[in-house]
Each structure stands twice: as structure tokens, then as C-alpha cells.
């Protein structure tokens, strides 16, 4: 199971997928973001190879400037507020979880992420923890 997330100043958005995140999953996630967030989107992401895939590039180009892509510097997870989401999940929400199946892990993670979305102070903390000059 893999997770993908994006964060704005007021919310974060996520999807869980079986297996690894590749081009098709990224396109699905970008489509969901376009449906949920009106207006132009600036997507700043890390160096995951799937981010540079031809499928993703073609999809973004087909949106006629609705999404603009920028990349974080290589090896700079401290600049990525999404990494703070995952760190919080691992150390707080999923710590000591003893599930019997990966399905149970997925459902529990989904529920905890939804709960985290309803906590604006947590989203603010993720931005403050990232070392971005905002």
C-alpha cells in the first residue's frame, strides 16, 4: 500500500493506493485535486521518478496551464510539508498498530488521515515544521 498527499495552507488531500505510486496513480490524484480545488494549482513536489513520467507530463500539458509543476531540490525532505504528514502518521497515528491485514491498515490510515484533515492547527504545524521560506 502506498499513499500520496498534497497540502495547501488550509487543508491536505490524500489517496491510498495498492502497490507503488506510478504515473497512472499520479494522474488520478491530480484529476481529483483539479475537481476539489478551483483555480490554478502550483504543484511543488519531490524527485519521485513517477513525477517525471511521460504520462504525467502529457496530462499536465493537456490542462492548458491549470497546473504548474515545480520541483523541490534533490534530497531536501525537510522542505516538504507533506513529509511532516507522513512523519506524524508514523509516530502518532499508526504507532503500535497491530492490524491483521493490509486492508485493516489501509482503513485505519484513511480514518486517521481524515481526522487529521479536520485539525487546522495540525496543518499549520506541518507548514511551520517544513523549512520553506514562506
Q: What is the pLDDT along the chain (134 residues), one digit of tens a residue?
A: 999 999 999 999 999 999 999 999 999 999 999 999 989 999 999 888 899 899 999 999 999 999 999 998 888 889 999 999 999 999 999 999 999 999 999 999 999 999 999 999 999 999 999 987 76
The range of the structural domain enclosing residue 123 comes to: 2-129
What domain count does the chain have?
1
Residue 70 — φ and ψ, nearest 5°? -135, 155
Is 134 inside any structural domain?
no
CATH number at residue 60: 3.30.420.10
Is 74 inside any structural domain?
yes
Is 115 inside any structural domain?
yes
Spell out where the chain has E strands. Answer: 2-7, 12-17, 41-45, 67-71
Is 21 inside any structural domain?
yes
Cell matching residue 63: 490542462
- Can you give the pTM of this predicted structure? 0.88
Amino acid at each position: 500500500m502506498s499513499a500520496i498527499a498534497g497540502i495547501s495552507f488550509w487543508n491536505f488531500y490524500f489517496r491510498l493506493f495498492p502497490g507503488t505510486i506510478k504515473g497512472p496513480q499520479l494522474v488520478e490524484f491530480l484529476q481529483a485535486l483539479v475537481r476539489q480545488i478551483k483555480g490554478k494549482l502550483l504543484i511543488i513536489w519531490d524527485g519521485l521518478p513517477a513525477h517525471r513520467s511521460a504520462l504525467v507530463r502529457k496530462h499536465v500539458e493537456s490542462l492548458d496551464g491549470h497546473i504548474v509543476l515545480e520541483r523541490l531540490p534533490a534530497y531536501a525532505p525537510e522542505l516538504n510539508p507533506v513529509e511532516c504528514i507522513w512523519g506524524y502518521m508514523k509516530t502518532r497515528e499508526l504507532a503500535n498498530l497491530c492490524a491483521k491485514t493490509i486492508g485493516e491498515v489501509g482503513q485505519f490510515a484513511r480514518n486517521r488521515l481524515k481526522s487529521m484533515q479536520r485539525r487546522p492547527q495540525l496543518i499549520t504545524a506541518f507548514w511551520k515544521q517544513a523549512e520553506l521560506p514562506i
